[in-house]
Amino acid sequence: MSTLSRSDVAHLARLARIDMTDPELDSLASELDVILEAVARVQEVATDDILPTSHPLPLRNVARPDVVTPSLSPKDALSGAPASEDQRFRVPQILGEEA
């Protein structure tokens, strides 16, 4: 497998618009080589009999079922509001529109 040169990393950094110092470019070149080798090894694994998955463990819905329960009446819900109108909260105008 070919290795990334320092100039390759500098080119990638320019494309990504990332300013990097010379020591950062040298360090990242060796780190990216390790990452690319690991990715190449993963790609070598025989995966013909393995189905694609988004999670390694089976997932199940852990949410409780919806149950209809009594709720507040409009009068009770608006009882603590500083202002209300037509069974709704009345708030200050913010967009300069006519009411």
The one-letter amino acid at 40: A
Cα–Cα distance for residue pair 4/29, rounded to 1 Å: 6
Whether 96 shows a pLDDT value over 90: the answer reads no
In a domain, 94, yes or no: no
Over residues 3-21, the pLDDT tens digits come to 788 899 999 999 999 999 9
82 pLDDT exceeds 70? yes
Per-position DSSP letters for 40-72, written without gaps between them: HHHHTS--TTS---S-SS-----SPPP------
Residues 6+ away with beta carbon under 8 Å from 94: none
What CATH number has the domain bearing residue 15? 1.10.20
Task: Tell me the per-residue pLDDT of 22-41, one tens digit each, with 9 for 90 and over.
Answer: 999 989 988 998 998 898 88
Domain extent at residue 23: 6-43
**Does 89 map to a domain?**
no
